[in-house]
Amino acid sequence: MTDEVLVSVEGKAGRLRLNRPRAIHALTEAMCTAMIGALQGWRGGEAVEVVLVDHAEGRGFCAGGDVVQASTDAAVAHAFFHEEYRLNHLMFTYAKPIVAFMDGVTMGGGVGISQPAKYRIATENTLFAMPETGIGLFPDVGGGWYLSRLPGAMGEYLALTGARLDGAECVALGIATHYVPSDALPALKAAIIDDPRSLDALLADAGIEPPAAGIMARQPNIDRLFAHESYEAVLAALAADRSDWAEATLRTLGKKSPQSCKVSLRLVLDGRDRVDFADEMRAEYGIAVHVCQRPDFREGVRALLVDRDNKPVWEPATPDGVTDQMIDTIFAPLPDDQAWTPIGR
């Protein structure tokens, strides 16, 4: 176990509290293992009726996965992604209700431990994003499943640009199920702990009408410009539009890894056809293993998280340098003895 996740049972509520405030609670392999152990221990019997997932102190819910070491050591990366995806799948298939409190930064790995929850609470502090194309990765932890099920071309837009959403926008898109003011969360958690069988009513009573969701005003443009099956077509549509928003979006995409953008777009398109979340996790693990073998992941982490010069040198540097054969190789299934497996298999 690790003190970076505080595990407890209060009343009939199991509690998982992320506790790495200096890293905005970014997940490590040990944290994933601790959460898996707790969830498995609570699966049977009646001692725990509901699971609450939040953060202990400091700002943000979870800023992602701690990928710095993973970017330079393939064995570390494989072990981390395998365990993280097992946690994601366990939460997705968990029989008891999970409530995730997305109060603050909820990115990458934070998405992976909030979106499987039946109840996902946004607040005025929520800042949601899947920004992986900026570090040479892709929106994993089930991103291919969740983003592909958003309305219109919103999934393509969020996957490619890493655009940030506030709490109201998360509710409007179904990423969050409830909007609760942050100062009401302590009382809500205490009420759930006191009476978990009234969970639905307690959440309904605590929730308020969120502010207007700005992203919805942009939905028609997003659907028109991002509903394409090739990254080049998206770029061409944006270039032809000539609006200020389209030009700003083009500049944003120009900073992303071309390889990651092509991988992310295909991930969302493929995700729409999947009917089993385990298949999604298996595919994403294979993609992660292949992406870790290529230079952009290491370079993106260096530029944005280590040296922080924000000047990644992508390889290939342009979309036309990322060939269909390269993408097919990245998406090729792993051999059975190397493939991801859920817990118990």
Annotated catalytic residue within 132, 156, 270, 299:
132
Give the global pTM.
0.96
Q: Is 167 left (phi over 0), alpha (psi -120 to 50) or beta?
A: alpha
Per-residue confidence (pLDDT) for residue 302, from 0 to 100: 96
Chain centroid to Cα 208, Å, comes to 25
| Residue owning tokens 């389209």 | 246
**65 carries an active-site annotation:** yes
Which pLDDT value is given to residue 56?
A: 92
Catalytic residue among 14, 108, 109, 143: 109
Active-site residue, from 4, 140, 156, 270:
140
pLDDT at 315: 97
Catalytic site residue from 65, 142, 155, 300: 65
pLDDT of res. 345: 63
Model pLDDT, residue 242: 86
> Rounded to whole angstroms, how far apart are CA atoms 172 and 180?
14
pLDDT at position 45 is 87
pLDDT of residue 1: 57
Q: What is the mean pLDDT of each run of 10 residues along the chain (345 residues)?
A: 90 97 95 97 94 92 92 93 98 98 97 98 98 97 98 98 98 98 98 98 98 97 97 98 96 98 98 97 98 95 95 97 97 97 86
109 assigned to active site: yes
Q: Going from the N-terminus, what domains does the chain have, and what CATH number goes with each?
A: 1-345 (3.90.226.10)
Say what the pLDDT of residue 322 is: 98
